[in-house]
Chain A
Amino acid sequence: MTDSNSKMPAGMAPGLIALGLATAYLVALLGAEKQAVIISLLVLGIGAVVGAAWLGLFDRVSRSFADHEDALGGSAIVAALALAAYFHEDHFVLLLVVTVLLTSVATLGLNVQFGYAGVLNFAGASFFGVGAYTSAVLNAYTSVPHLIVLPIGGVIAALIGSMLLLPVLRTRGHYAAVVTIAFALLFKTFLEVNDVLGGPQGMQVKGMNILGWSFNDNIEAGGITISFYMGYFLLSLALLIAAFVLVRRLERSWIGLNLDALRLDETAASCFGLDITRWKITAFLIGNFLIGIAGALFGMVGGFVGPNNYTFADSLILVSILLLGGIGNPWGLVVATFIVVVVPEKLQTIQEYRFLLYALMVIGVLLFRPEGLLPRPVRRYFPRWRP
């Protein structure tokens, strides 16, 4: 954690400029078609980031974000809406952005577990899959309103996750991680042999339908056609905002302090009255709930779930996003999710080498910036509050 505790509040300008540049860059990158253009844009992006880091501009941006989080968060929402409006016809780009938003929600959940409580979860994608399967089953066999299906997906992911609690709580560190890896492998096998859930072929998922408005139809408004992904985009954005605010408040509360205390020193924490088990369970369930909700909505977006969509490899990607973005920093996670999801999609030439790219990124970050792209600052319970 770095010290961002200067007496004077930082200005808002660095944050706004960074946000504007990032949005413009994203529009250019997402809109680019030719591989040559995409590669030059990526090289430009990496150069700009390294240069900015070298000049110390990053610190100014992160201080600006720390002191004006609400205003800059609002601007980020506006930027996201503007981006979506620009690509309103483009199915592919909107789907990509929806994927980023929902993956961010899932990594926020993982962040509560690993980043705060220190409980490693290498089955993140499995719980994401639990959410997706929940919406597949509920939408096919019941008439539960689809908006209600989302929290149910979260609850089911938390419930199934609680099967892991006993072994996870009885083991520590790496051993607990191995338990979750075992779960990820078992989960895939379970799905493959389970005919009710479609076996290896998976299941269709009916799309979101709110009060008769089907999300899977394009919207025609005054002569312009808006991609049917726009509804999913708005819903995913709302979900990300809610998850972000929740995780932020959690961090900036006594509970966030409890989780940090037990991650850093269990013995000392229990000598000061902390119930280690209670708080590990709390963090694990909250995390899984977020992952499950994101999965439930993503199932509807994709229209299909299968055992091969949510494998151990995908769980590793979620963990690598955490390492890349900066463990414990929600802003860093969103940025890292963009990088990890968008770059391989746009860069078709390296599709097969995706995992190689992730591995190189993670190794690079661990070597040169061990706390991630945007390290977590020291906790301020109320950022604008001054004694």
Chain B
Amino acid sequence: MNPLLQARGLMRRFGGVVALDGLDLDVAANEILGLIGPNGSGKTTFFNVVTGIYGADAGTVTFGGADITRAPSRAVYKAGIARTFQRSRLSLPLSIFDNIMIGNHQHLNQGLWFNLMRRKAFKREFEENYAAARALVEVFEPAMADRLFEPVAGLPMIDRRRIEICRALISAPKLLLLDEPSAGMTHEETAELMDDILLVRERNKNLTIIIVEHEMGVIERITDRCVVLNFGRKIADGPYREVAADPQVQEAYLGVA
């Protein structure tokens, strides 16, 4: 079977630093892939290159058979890839609902005439989207579902993470990129969040996930397969137990002399 996402010989340099060094990576449809490696090994750079925030210096990325290497961010999103960010990037003054709707851009009617003049039709679309957003938020935190019109600014980190994940999920993407969802949260909160993500995936079997994470408990529990990066290259690939036992991986993490 063809992989859903395929990277071949992906290169990205920042001045003299080689962030991605000829990376080859395959992601099968419906799998949960853990992307791990020490700080600076190129995990987030990989996400940024895939989503078009950085261009690739060489190599290709294909998604569902189509080349997306040079595609701008918005085309990558339209193709069905949604992401979260390592440092939460919500629009703090906006409401929870607004933030989630930013993620549903491609399903909202963006016509000027529709938005300004056809207010009845707009209201129907608004109500449908409110129901969808509410149903999604209820999976993560039922208490938050009644407060969708409150600003995000006052919320604790775990709620912000939940909203970010809802924003990425609302458009029903094929591939979800999670960049360190546990950052800034306790073990218990992270576990809870992961359960919720798995619950959403139960309902939507077609969702493929790549997760970057330092919390190895999370990786062990939810991933089908792990890819370990070091200095922008793949150094191991396999189920968590196998890669964790790999001497090369241990050396990369512990810096054995």
A residues bordering B, Cβ < 8 Å? 1, 3, 5, 246, 249-250, 253-255, 257-258, 260-261, 264-265, 267-275, 282, 378-382, 385, 387
Contact = CB atoms under 8 A, between A and B. Distances in A.
A387 B134 contact: yes
Nearest to A245: B116
Pick from B82, B93, B106, B146 the residue with the most CB of A within 10 Å: B93
A260 B98 contact: yes
B233 interface: no
Given A249-B119, A267-B53, A272 B105 contact: yes
Given A264-B91, A273-B105, 6 more contacts: A253-B115, A260-B98, A261-B102, A271-B51, A271-B73, A272-B77
A265 B150 contact: no
Nearest to B126: A381
B108 interface: yes
B42 interface: no
B73 A378 contact: no
A261 B99 CA distance: 8
Contact of B116 (A249, A258, A274): A249
B122 interface: yes
Contact of A265 (B89, B103, B115, B151): B89
A381 B147 CA distance: 15
A253 B90 CA distance: 19
Pick from B83, B123, B126, B150 the residue with the most CB of A within 10 Å: B126
B85 interface: yes
Contact of B95 (A249, A255, A379, A382): A379
Pick from A257, A267, A274, A387 the residue with the most CB of B within 10 Å: A257
A1 B78 contact: no
Contacts of A385: 123
A254 B115 contact: yes
Nearest 5 CB-CB pairings of A with B: A253-B115, A273-B105, A264-B91, A270-B73, A273-B77
A265 B53 CA distance: 13
Contacts of A379: 94-95, 98
Interface string B151-173: 10010000000000001000100
B98 A1 contact: no
Pick from B106, B146, B149, B150 the residue with the most CB of A within 10 Å: B149
A65 to B, nearest CB: 17
Interface in B92-132: 92-95, 98, 101-103, 105-106, 108-110, 112, 115-116, 119, 122-123, 126, 130
Given A265-B91, A273-B77, A254 B109 contact: yes
A189 B103 CA distance: 46
A380 B123 CA distance: 12
A253 B116 contact: yes
A268 B98 CA distance: 14
A381 B154 CA distance: 21
A257 B102 CA distance: 7
Given A3-B151, A249-B115, A378 B95 contact: yes
B74 interface: yes
Contacts of B89: 265, 267-268
24 contacts: A1-B94, A3-B154, A5-B149, A253-B122, A255-B112, A255-B115, A260-B91, A264-B94, A267-B53, A268-B90, A271-B53, A271-B76, A272-B102, A272-B103, A272-B105, A272-B171, A273-B105, A274-B105, A378-B93, A379-B95, A381-B122, A381-B123, A387-B130, A387-B134
Contact of B149 (A257, A261, A267, A380): A380
B171 to A, nearest CB: 8
B150 A271 contact: no
B104 to A, nearest CB: 8
B173 to A, nearest CB: 10
A275 B126 CA distance: 21
B3 interface: no
A268 B102 contact: yes
A127 B72 CA distance: 33
Contacts of A261: 91, 94, 102
A258 B102 CA distance: 7
A254 B101 contact: yes
Contact of A378 (B101, B112, B150): B150
A189 B245 CA distance: 74
A12 B94 CA distance: 26
A261 B85 CA distance: 15
Contacts of B74: 270-275
A257 B147 CA distance: 18
Contacts of A381: 122-123, 126
Nearest to A386: B149
Pick from A272, A275, A282 the residue with the most CB of B within 10 Å: A272
B150 A5 contact: yes
Contacts of B115: 249-250, 253-255
A173 to B, nearest CB: 17
A380 B126 CA distance: 11
B144 to A, nearest CB: 13
Contacts of B101: 254, 257
A255 B150 contact: no
Contacts of A271: 51-53, 73-74, 76-77, 82-83
Contacts of B98: 257, 260, 378-379
A253 B77 CA distance: 21
A260 B108 contact: no
A268 B149 CA distance: 21
Contacts of B109: 254
Contacts of A275: 74
Contacts of A5: 95, 147, 149-150
A282 B95 CA distance: 23
A274 B91 CA distance: 14
